[in-house]
């Protein structure tokens, strides 16, 4: 979520660099606003150092390195927090300490070796970079963060396969972490990590109480530092033990750690302890479309006056008059595009255009057409087999919410004082607020979920709406700020009313904590978006790194979760896709090709299908362009064609995903989606020159036809596969192809 009155949206809030008592490596200063991802992939020297230091020693890696952060202020502050990638950017989670009345603030953290971003948050709202930072960088979203590189003490020699030296501290298997042990239908998936380029063979020995079976673990992916080996085994009670070999050296990894002698204790696979993850089956087939109703289409003259104050403080907002009646009018447009699931930003009564400050959960906002328009929209969507997901804002409310108004009027005597966290009386709408508020913005007081009355009220709202109107799920705003216990109860209530309803959380980073089967079904996949844009829009990473990062991201979740994740290229909280692509229509088309052919549920932000542009909020919420230029109309037809092909081929929605080529020199990425006998090949040249590539297909096909070209060419083209299964392609610059088996069997 985000508000028009706030000028930035943090993927990771802006951050400064600390002076570390551990070893801190500076980045060389680089102009031009390059994001941290650029540094992680391009600074080879730094990566080599990190590779050495991360693997330096088991004891050091387990204990972490002490790093002291210091901030010196000119004026005293009441409170200063440290926020960064080490605490998911959570304000309030990591307070600092002052011993001189609030001018000097310090905090020592024990951090694992690695690269971090962070920032100081003064008085809960003022985000500041570290004035002593060696390097500050653009995070790719227009925010400036500081970098900290933490190194372990001691340096191992470079990794070499076959030298008989195994870096023990790099070996990792953590059964309590979903990445290393997860359920996948009738199987369990085991993962082992080693240092990259360090070992020759990884095996696992399985014991089911009757016999021992030894199996090799294939390497599935590697990143700059590590290699990852993975194997599916039967999901039944087992004991297992890993062995790693290099040269004449063999070590075992067990719950006791890495040892040169065969250990007595083994890992135990207990199926009943694996998280039971069940995701609505329809999400893997969905094409989502996000709408901000006020900005879509104005079909009802019942519009708010944008010049009138929203409340007693004089706050105003910009309205464009869009409403749900306008969405009703455009249901056929969405249906023709291929959309199967609509996601609406909040529709309940509020004074703002975005309505993330809910005043009344029991009514659809009258300016949107009220309950009647909402019910009509649901009916029209159902007639076309389309689904609807609503935005649930249950972390905070607006200042006209009945309980907060009562608190303002009655103060300490209010029956609802414990619905909020009041820091001092009298309670006023002022800055900083005397109560807990989202990002300390006075207009959005946070609810106190520890109060059972608050929980019951919210859950009653949820279930009553779902019983009254048959919509299909919730997208949950600021989900990381609400206690787990509430989301667990929320899931039980939602699934009780509608078992196939989807629950999508707004989580901006690693979401494994929320995707273990007891809270959410999916999340807005911002990490996926960042990886794709890094390659297509910014060209910060080569295709090999693109593939590594996409696969590592997918490995963190069970397959059913990965295939149902909400994969978007823009949202109401980000710059628009074409703006990030520098206006380059070719890049936009390549991004859509990736979105529609990689695992996950594609999600289109309204107007992206016609190439709308937009920067920071509120520019990214311009009114829908219903009269786009010729390039926009052509893009819309291209997106519709992609959606049509995705619907026609189950392999694009549910099939295995196999990398065929990552050619960094030509900037080409090719992969295969396969389900049963159905195969779809995608080859993308993100370079500025034509590329010639050879691809080895897993099964020999006589000919392939180019079903779609991102450059819009409709010319039929067939290509031959030789007897050995090799396919040669010459792909034009900045072009992607989708190829299918040629059922006619004709030679080119």
Enumerate the domain spans of the chain: 23-151, 168-273, 287-389+449-524, 396-446, 656-741
| Rg for the chain, CA atoms, rounded | 27
Specify the pLDDT at position 478. 95
C-alpha angle 410/416/422, rounded to 5°?
80
In the CATH scheme, what is the code of domain 396-446? 3.90.400.10
| Six token digits for residue 570 | 């823009």
Q: How far apart are CA 371 and CA 357, in angstroms?
A: 18
Q: Could you tell me if residue 582 is left (phi over 0), alpha (psi between -120 and 50 degrees) or otherwise beta? A: left
Nearest by Cα to 169 from 57, 257, 252: 57
Calpha distance 182→561 (Å, rounded)? 11
- Closest by alpha carbon to 168, among 246, 65, 223, 64? 246
295 burial (CB, 10 Å; 0-12 / 13-18 / 19+) is: buried
What is the spatial distance between Cα 629 and Cα 620, in angstroms, rounded to a whole number?
18
Beta pairing, strands 104-111 & 97-98: antiparallel
Exposed, middle or buried, 424 (CB in 10 Å: 0-12/13-18/19+)? exposed
Closest CA to 442 of 457, 454, 432: 432
Count helices and strands in the chain by DSSP H and E runs: 16, 37
Residue 590, SS3? helix
Which residues partner with 685 through β-bridges?
A: 668, 735
pLDDT at 137: 63
**Residue 694: strand, helix, or coil:** strand
Domains 168-273 and 656-741 share a fold: yes
Residue written as token pair 């000028």 = 7
Rounded CA-CA distance 363/506 in Å is: 23
Q: Which residues of 626-638 are buried (b: 16+ CB within 10 A; e: fewer)?
A: eebeeebebbbeb
The answer to whether residue 323 is catalytic is: no
Q: Distance between CA 503 and CA 519 in Å, rounded? A: 8
Q: Burial, 533: exposed, middle or buried (Cβ in 10 Å; 0-12, 13-18, 19+)? A: buried
Q: Could you tell me which residues come within 8 angstroms of residue 618 by beta carbon, excluding any fewer than 6 positions away?
A: 4, 318
For domain 287-389+449-524, give its CATH number from 3.30.499.10, 3.20.20.80, 3.40.50.2300, 2.40.110.10: 3.20.20.80
Six token digits for residue 26: 């500076």
Cα–Cα distance, 487 to 630 (Å, whole number): 46
Q: Which residues contact 263 (CB under 8 A, 6 or more apart)?
A: 241, 252, 254, 256
Round to the nearest angstrom and report the end-to-end CA distance of the chain.
51
Using CB atoms within 10 A of its CB, is residue 293 exposed (0-12), middle (13-18) or buried (19+)? buried
Is residue 525 within 8 A of residue 601, CB to CB? The reply is no
Determine the Cα–Cα distance for residues 58 and 351; give it in Å rounded to an integer: 56
Tokens matching residue 8: 């930035």
398, 490, 656 from 351: Cα distances, Å: 8, 26, 47
Q: From the CB of residue 75, how many other CB atoms can be counted at a distance below 10 Å?
A: 7
452-468 vs 484-497: helix axis angle to the nearest 10?
A: 30
CA atoms of 531 and 525, how far apart (whole Å) = 10
Looking at 198, 506, 548, 609, which residue is catalytic?
A: 506
Asked whether the beta carbons of 204 and 190 are under 8 A apart, the reply is yes
pLDDT at 557: 94
Beta pairing partners, 84: 118
Dihedral sign for Cα 328, 332, 337, 340, please. Answer: positive
Helix (H, G, I), strand (E, B) or coil at 475: strand
Pairing relation of β-strands 668-675 and 656-663?
antiparallel
Q: Of 147, 138, 40, 136, nearest to 575 (Cα)?
A: 138
- DSSP conformation class of 408: H
Residue 9 confidence (pLDDT) = 30
Distance CA 425, CA 440 (A): 17
Pairwise CA distance, residues 67 & 21, whole Å:
5
Superfamily of structural domain 23-151: Immunoglobulins (2.60.40.10)
CB 144 within 8 A of CB 136: yes
pLDDT of residue 54: 40
Residues 6+ apart with CB under 8 A from 105: 70, 71, 73, 77, 80, 96, 97, 98, 120
Q: What is the 3-state composition of the chain as percent helix, strand, coil, each rounded to the nearest 5?
A: 25, 30, 45
Q: What CATH number does domain 168-273 carry, 2.60.40.640, 1.20.1050.10, 2.60.40.10, 1.25.40.10?
A: 2.60.40.10
The confidence score (pLDDT) of residue 247 equals 93
What's CA 9's distance to the chain center, in Å?
Answer: 15
Q: CA–CA separation, 27 vs 113, rounded Å?
A: 15
Rounded to 5 degrees, φ, ψ at 672 are -120, 135
- The three-state secondary structure class of 254 is strand
Scan for tokens 């802006």, then name that residue: 14
Neighbours of 434 (CB within 10 A): 15
Query: 265 exposed, middle or buried (CB, 10 Å; 0-12, 13-18, 19+)?
Result: exposed
Beta bridge partners of 747: none
Cα separation, 671 vs 695, whole angstroms: 9
pLDDT at 134: 73
Annotation says 477 is catalytic: yes
Residues of the chain scoring pLDDT < 70: 1-63, 113-114, 137-143, 151-156, 699-700, 714-716, 744-748
CATH fit for domain 656-741, picks 2.60.40.1180, 3.40.640.10, 3.90.1150.10, 2.40.40.20:
2.60.40.1180
Largest pairwise CA distance in the chain: 84
Handedness of CA 306, 311, 312, 315 (dihedral sign): negative
Q: Which entry of 151, 477, 547, 613 is annotated as an active-site residue? A: 477
What's the token pair of residue 664?
């960094």
């Amino acid at each position: 979520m985000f508000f028009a009155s706030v000028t930035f949206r943090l993927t990771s809030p802006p951050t400064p660099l600390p002076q570390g008592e551990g070893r801190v490596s500076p980045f060389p200063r680089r102009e031009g606003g390059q994001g941290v991802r650029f540094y992680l992939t391009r600074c080879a020297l730094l990566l080599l150092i990190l590779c050495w230091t991360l693997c330096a020693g088991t004891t050091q890696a387990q204990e972490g390195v002490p790093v002291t952060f210091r901030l010196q202020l000119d004026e005293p502050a009441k409170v200063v927090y440290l926020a960064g990638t080490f605490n998911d950017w959570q304000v309030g989670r990591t307070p600092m300490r002052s011993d001189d009345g609030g001018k000097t603030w310090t905090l020592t953290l024990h951090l694992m070796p690695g690269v971090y971003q962070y920032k100081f948050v003064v008085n809960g709202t003022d985000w500041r970079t570290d004035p002593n930072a060696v390097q500050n960088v653009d995070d790719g979203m227009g925010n400036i963060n500081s970098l900290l590189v933490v190194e372990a003490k001691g340096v191992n020699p470079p990794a070499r396969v076959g030298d008989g030296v195994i870096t023990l501290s790099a070996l990792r298997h953590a059964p309590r972490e979903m990445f290393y042990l997860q359920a996948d239908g009738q199987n369990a998936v085991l993962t082992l990590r080693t240092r990259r380029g360090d070992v020759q063979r990884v095996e696992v020995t399985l014991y089911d109480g009757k016999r021992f079976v030894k199996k090799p673990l294939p390497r599935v992916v590697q990143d700059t530092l590590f290699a990852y080996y993975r194997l599916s085994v039967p999901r039944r009670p087992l004991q297992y033990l890993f062995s790693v070999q290099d040269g004449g050296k063999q070590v075992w990894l067990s719950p006791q750690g890495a040892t040169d002698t065969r250990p007595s204790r083994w890992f135990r696979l207990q199926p009943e302890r694996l998280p039971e993850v069940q995701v609505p089956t329809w999400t893997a087939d969905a094409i989502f479309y996000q709408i901000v109703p006020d900005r879509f289409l104005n079909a009802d003259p019942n519009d708010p006056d944008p010049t009138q104050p929203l409340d007693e403080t004089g706050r105003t907002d910009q309205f464009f008059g869009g409403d749900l009646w306008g969405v009703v009018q455009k249901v056929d447009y969405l249906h023709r595009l291929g959309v199967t699931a609509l996601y609406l930003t909040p529709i309940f009564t509020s004074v703002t255009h975005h309505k993330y400050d809910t005043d009344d959960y029991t009514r659809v906002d009258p300016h949107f057409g009220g309950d009647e328009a909402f019910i009509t929209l649901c009916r029209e969507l159902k007639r076309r087999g389309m689904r609807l997901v609503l935005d649930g804002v249950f972390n905070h409310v607006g200042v006209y919410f009945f309980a907060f108004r009562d608190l303002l009027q009655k103060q300490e005597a209010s029956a609802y004082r414990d619905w909020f966290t009041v820091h001092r009386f009298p309670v006023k709408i002022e800055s900083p607020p005397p109560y807990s508020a989202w990002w300390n913005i006075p207009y959005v007081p946070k609810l106190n979920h520890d109060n059972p009355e608050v929980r019951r009220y919210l859950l009653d709202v949820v279930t009553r709406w779902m019983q009254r109107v048959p919509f299909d799920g919730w997208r949950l705003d600021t989900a990381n700020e609400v206690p787990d216990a509430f989301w667990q109860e929320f899931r039980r209530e939602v699934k009780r009313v509608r078992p196939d309803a989807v629950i999508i959380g707004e989580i901006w980073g690693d979401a494994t904590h929320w995707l273990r089967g007891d809270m959410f079904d999916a999340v807005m996949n911002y990490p996926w978006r960042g990886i794709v844009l890094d390659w297509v829009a910014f060209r910060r990473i080569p295709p090999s790194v693109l593939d590594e990062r996409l696969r590592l991201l997918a490995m963190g979740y069970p397959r059913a979760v990965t295939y149902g994740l909400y994969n978007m290229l823009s949202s109401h909280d980000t710059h628009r896709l074409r703006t990030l692509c520098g206006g380059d229509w070719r890049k936009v088309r390549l991004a859509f090709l990736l979105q529609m052919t990689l695992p996950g549920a594609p999600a289109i932000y309204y107007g992206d299908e016609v190439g709308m542009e937009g920067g920071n909020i509120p520019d990214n919420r311009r009114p829908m362009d219903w009269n786009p230029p010729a390039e926009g109309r052509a893009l819309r037809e291209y997106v519709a064609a992609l959606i049509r092909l995705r619907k026609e081929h189950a392999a694009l929605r549910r099939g295995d995903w196999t990398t065929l080529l990552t050619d960094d020199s030509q900037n080409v990425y090719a992969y295969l989606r396969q389900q049963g006998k159905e195969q779809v090949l995608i080859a993308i040249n993100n370079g500025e020159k034509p590329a010639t590539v050879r691809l080895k297909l897993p099964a020999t096909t006589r000919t392939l036809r180019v079903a779609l070209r991102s450059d819009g060419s409709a010319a039929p083209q067939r290509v031959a596969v030789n007897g050995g299964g090799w396919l040669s392609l010459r792909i034009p610059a900045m072009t992607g192809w989708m190829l299918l088996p040629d059922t006619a069997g004709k030679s080119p």
